Structure 1
């Protein structure tokens, strides 16, 4: 039996509350999940593909349950996946951009995933207030473009292609921006300031 990803298990396998024709369409879309997975992965990167596909499958199920079968389920589900991928990237990018432009933002919803100081052997930040303060230090050093790109890469694990699609620039420009940010991050004085906001080992 194949190893099924988390996006296969959202609603059970298969859902038991659909009409026979709707269930047939569900299975039809299910047989093409590998293709949808590749499409979504190209949009949002490998670290977000399961989240997007899970949301897309929920939406497909809701439609089939409420409205019955669709005309062409493979095209319909492809459209859902595409829209969910775009919405996912926009949401993530909006959080990063809000922080860069908002001095009161603490990015609390991502606090447990932030790796502000996960380089050069420094301890990861784990507390929301510490996350906010450490990012404020970065804001003093990085340009808004550098900080936004760096947050999308380091905090949300987006790849350069996904960021380039959202920002309307090229992958090479994104990579260059992130390289500049990482170079600044290596500065000993900035490292010292960031270290002040990390958790002190007991």
Structure 2
């Protein structure tokens, strides 16, 4: 039976890694709720494993265990996502006003700007094994032998998985560096044009090839297919604005560390928007309306 002092020692080591582990699970799954479940399950597994044979490196053990468990959950989730009504978007991680002070250090791993919303969307196109290999090696810096443990393949095989995933991520152009002030300026211009119902101004702030994706989860009305082109995207956004009710509040927010906004009605969030900025314009608009993906 595990002694109380040893349990406390494990708990301290686990607490020090918990934010990072949640980041690994979220990057693999695209769901914060599922990521938190995975981390909680793996804590119980750590206690049981340590009782059988003391775990000397909690960080290494936990990272592999969380990634392996997240991979299993993702494989089963893929079946549900294929039957999903309309596009499936990742669950957003919403922070405060981007113009405010930096987030609390405790939140930095899960809000890490490496895990941008656009990147999370690109990762959805990878196979579960490719995604896990890329997340562990390219995002979190694990060596291929450790990745192989998590994925259940040889180091050479996971190296190839990571190469394929890297090529796809690069082609998705999801990791373009943009100055934060530039992001904020463009996001503010987008919100001002949308809030003012100004079609011309909204088109001007959108990239000509802008894409809008909306996820209502079959519960809330949303576009079943991506909307493409600045004019169509602008008209879609203004159409949403025309449905606003008196008392609805829209505020700027960070979404996965990037620019976005949150809309609330009677204190309840009903929409989260993630904006991807490139070349001084908005290139992607991702709208999450599915109630079970919204912050509570």
Give TM-score scaled by structure 1 length.
Answer: 0.44
More helix per residue: 1
More strand per residue: 2
Give TM-score scaled by structure 2 length.
Answer: 0.32
